[in-house]
Structure 1
């Protein structure tokens, strides 16, 4: 393949050079001929029309066709015989036609086109474009020659008379009529017979199309190529001194299996097969064009999601780019749900609104009277996982017992179940189900207010569902019919990357850049042998020979190399570079999730304070705080005050936002408690003054190695509420309880990834 590409490259440049030389010869020949033309005599001048400028007219004595010649100071060249044959009317046609060529500098344009065509001699599309331009150019000059008159037929006969003369003509001149190619002349005559109009300026669509083609075509062409052996060689940089270096990269847990979670190398009976599930790290990199000469190696350590490579610096830079691409992850989905209660519906059920359309609709309805608006808590989740946004009030029967509180509990308010899956063209397929409990006797049926006494027996339920493919930022419209006013539901889905900023689409990916450090290992060290002793990490399998375990991880053992497991230690004899790999692989640090919980109690409206305190991230949505304070009003006449102290998700803060909140709390009269974990029950106990509830937080590291899965359960007197949420390292989940006794209570649950301490 290398030889074929080399031959084609030489053929291309040889043909191109020959065509350029031919074009240069023709241009010089035509220019010299144009300079040698004589000026018309006084008798010849007298035969030219007085109303036209004859200054650019030159004469040649041999037979030929009138033309424009010369790219430097071009002139109109006419045969001497034309002064005896042409009438004043025909002179006007000729001079107007050729004068239009001069005015548009067509000789220079044609020269540039021929240069491009010589370079693109292999491209039929380029030749077709040049021919189309030549045809259009002649039609425009014909239109200028005829003007607004109706003598198209006579002018066509005039052109045919010149084309009929089979006199030789210079290549590179622009003749008024030429029989080759005949198709071009035929098209010109048809245009004259039909009296087609000519645009004075280029059309906007044509200019836009040319611009798009000029930008897109090179990008498309650059996406194709031939992978040759030379292209697979490591890139040689100035820093590439021929030595071997070892570098560790941070990768995702599914690096080898590309989607399946890798097993723990220290799990009993699994270490020997970890590296051979699917492809090894070396095979994966070789498939992407990275060669591995003698002394180079690559191994993957799932315990710390680490790729350890020994190679030249040029290849290490290539591998870093490959790891960067493989570390990309699909964005999260941020849902924002809004409800409009009015006498009629807005838009159509199932419609999809653009961001500007949804914003304008919300602005219009907010200015009208008799319309109730509500914004539900925002929620963020992963593609394929269900999310729930709800603001519901509990309604209890007249007599509460331990039996009926679990089975006969009813809710008033909206509850929206949301699920988003990947779709084509960067969109997400959003499935939504809206459930609504209403009190038909209340002044605000979908939300009890103070003083309302909803009848448990009269609570009604309504439901509606819809699905649509939404681009990031688009809004799905749903209609929900109730016994009183109708409800329009607006569901907006946005793509977010790990930093909380908006992503381009649901196909776009957020990159976890690889981190690595190089260790200088000269090539001569590859031949130096040594014996080292390593402490066996916890979980290292003892039912398989240690050499087999290390080989499965990707560490080479040549002749005379060995590994012996004895008394909790591994004695290895190998080369120094392999010892470096073994130390990095055995010494990898595993991470775990650490959770801290803080409780806050205050008399002020903490939701409103948070909206004032917390600045939104750049290009990021505001925290998922309930923006309508009335949605948090307690149900009227609750049976017990303890039941009000139920906690639901109120916001998710980044580390910077939470730091801002804590600084504001430090100077605000609040009660702040840092909750301690009960080692026996594994629960966080709230003080009795804050309700005395128990909170359980289950935390696990996400499958991608970058997110944290939290399941938070707060046990109440009669029932418990469980909240599931996916967050990034260092983020804080805020749970808020319904205000009671003029107090607002919040839980701040922060999760961080920390490295596990090595056991000595």
Structure 2
């Protein structure tokens, strides 16, 4: 293959690599509009000019010996390029190997002209189209005129010196021109726009002028024409344009907080499309994604930085240096005849396979637990040996529970086998979602200790709810992990005797069982004052604790997902039937059919670099990540008063399974508890966004956001504003060693100010998930309050943990 063809292929490969790297950084790391615009611009520049820079960093000569694709190795200290040569066996001579290379080169050279012709044809067609649009804009710009005196008098005085131009046909205000750009407005705007709208319009377009966006857009179209085959360049150009529009929108609104009115002003222009393609209109309906992003940013009142910041500039500088060096490790080169004919060094030289290296794996904290009992852990060596990994002399394995890291010293072959074993074994176990109801009546229902399937339990509840003199009540729902105890408390505890209380306490312990089931142990405690025949709607502290009677019920059973345990409890002259259901819950908040490991939800096993093992030295933990006790949690609390709870799910416009799932999460507000808020479910990020959109569509909804950052194990207290009652509630996060699971101990607010502690729930969620609590505010059962608690792990740098 000729050097020209090699350079041609390398250019495309490197351009794709630069574009993908920039797109990935934008999608995963950058949120601010100003920083997104700068990052997108840098990525576009490197996608165009980076391949020439990379070609000067890498020896792409034929004698280098590199044949095909090279990739990154595990460490910067080794050669990243993988040398691929023709396989030479005793039956194949070097001359035959060279024949295979020549055959490959001959075939590649045959299809290279067609590939080049296709690429250059696309470039020529798009450049001609760009040139045609440019000429049309020049002609159209010459037809613009300056505003007359009467038109100037109709706009605010502060705007009369701005570079305004007028056109007479229907259209949207825009910026036009490259070296001396103007703000072009339709003649119909004069006398129809208010002073505030004129200020919005001019501030928006002046930000475009300040950023020279018309010239940048023209250059972007040139880059789009040259790199039309690179999808990442198209995405980067769109991301830059969207970021610039968000910056201009923020400049137009300023600090006045008129986002909603300004958004309606933009929408009024969307109906009038601009007739001239290539200009920068203030608002347009296409691409729709850009318009939706702008409106979403306005509704959410996203702040926009005025300066990039020193850390960001340093990061960009480092990326501009390191990025080309990384991408230079990827390329294509055809070896010369002398290089191709050289014998290949064997990978099995004497003593090489016996060398030991130390490698660190970040794994699930429960990976060493026995399937039937999470508390029964095996040693790391026993676990790996049971999976076929051998341990020669001086080989070892150490598991560090505080950081969930497995440090293994072994040969490279066994280390690679260990990685595969950990990947196969690191699957996520479903959480257990407990739903408890109790029937208060003159008789028991069902058989004590019986297990009902989902249909039988639903039929029993439907039958009971229609009977007179029967109360169907509920206990706060809760999620927990295998091997973790879940506790739900409602009421008040005797300060002198913690075992005595007025109210409800439920203890649930779950562990893995066989055949996709879960083994649960239940303990239900109920405290009532003497003479109370029914459970009150609110628990008040007793005047005399000696008059408090305690009633308890215990149970042990294996349940499949969706099955219900029946327990009986005699409470004075009343018979109480407890229905305890266990449901397998996946990380995305949906229900699973069994409690077996979720094979399609794999743990992201992270592999560290290999360190040569020195005899007599024990492996140590790399100091690359904070331990779980040192991590922080960002808590975002959103409180919403909903006048029509029953209409909320309807506003989501969902059908089938999705609607049933959201009904389960939002429609479980138990009406017998007024002013107390219980855990109703867990939402993923996508589900939470869906619910917030539904709240925004509903009239009369009051929404308040209360963010806070708290250290692991520390309590965060949130104070509701006075218009929502002014109560306070506490959230205490506990971070697991796995790096993404969080225990949330939640004490929600209560409208009953005399209640010492209305509800206390300990719930396990994944980082980024949202815990939902709900309750009714009044006897009118449709007036409810929803509390959303989102917990996200943040690193020492302040970035969210993915």
User: TM range, normalised to the smaller chain?
Assistant: 0.3 to 0.5
Larger relative helix fraction: 2
Structure number, greater radius of gyration: 1
Q: TM-score normalised to the size of structure 2?
A: 0.42
- TM-score normalised by L of structure 1: 0.44
